[in-house]
A and B are shown apart, each in its own frame.
Chain A
Amino acid sequence: MEFIMSILIGALFSVGTYLILSRSLLRIVLGTAILSHGVHLLLMTMAGLKRGAAPLLGEEAGAYTDPLPQALILTSIVISFGVTAFFFVLAYRAYQELRTDDMELLRGDDDE
């Protein structure tokens, strides 16, 4: 399972990187979203998959999955959501002010 998950994560990273390298701001934001999906699945996979029940002690199971990466991923999800939301509004405002979302045109002034 980990093997095909790793392949899938590689594909997520590839697509995320590809989108980040494009010209449109919206595609870049979507690229970061896909990259963070890849990272979360990577964290999950690296801890080992399906090693028991969900980490709820009421389940009375013999083995539980590792709760620590889940806590880390939960933190990461919230943070990447905050950043994505901020980034998206930034892109929206940049478009409003500068009338373009093409990264090749957003190069700043020479005197900056």
Chain B
Amino acid sequence: MPFQHIVFAIEDGVALLSFNRPAQLNSFNTAMHLEVREALKQVRHSSEARVLLLTGEGRAFCAGQDLSDRNVAPGADMPDLGESIDRFYNPLVRTLRDLPMPVVCAVNGVAAGAGANIPLACDLVLAARSASFIQAFCKIGLVPDSGGTWLLPRLVGMARAKALAMLGERLGAEQAEQWGLIHRVVDDAALRDEALALARQLATQPTYGLALIKRGLNASFDNGFDDQLQLERDLQRLAGRSDDYREGVNAFMNKRTPAFKGR
């Protein structure tokens, strides 16, 4: 069945997933959540996808939760927001972090609420110069979710994390780059081409090795030095068994360009 709320295709090793509710600034309702989940499942089980590129259609990247999808009328039962997080947002960011391939995120415009934190669960974030990150949660009495409270202090330090989360002010893309929240700022007009070029480049790389790098770096926040050294040993063992490692060494020895298969 065709998707309604996202654009999704796998081509030349690149899986492109673009939020597509431009009139609602690509905010999440249940239907979009389900389509994103289905697309990510296809990426995980695809034999050809070697990189995921995540972006948004129109002028926004993603404005977080669509509040019109929430029932908080006076007299209505108190909603259980934890349930929606359990069902949708947590599985989504877990999937992005666990996906065994690089995940590139092209933030094409405003990224607010959960939409500001979803990029942080990706591996390489590019942002248009006009894009901005807004931890809008505090403005409506909520807490940063989708990993925000965990990722922000680790990316920008506690002082800046608290300022972002408690003031809910707009953080411009250039500032986000200076703070180390994202990888790189790109001119608006060039964002999609640059992101695609990066994704295509990554799709030619040793995907399995990159997935192991991702596993190691993601685990580093939870491990002590010694545990991490042991993890490195185990990941290197796995990497050393890959076809791409053999190809890489062989190509280096014979002074030729390696042809990686991603295995």
Q: Do A and B come from one complex?
A: no
- Give the interface of B toward A (CB within 8 A): none
- Give the interface of A toward B (CB within 8 A): none
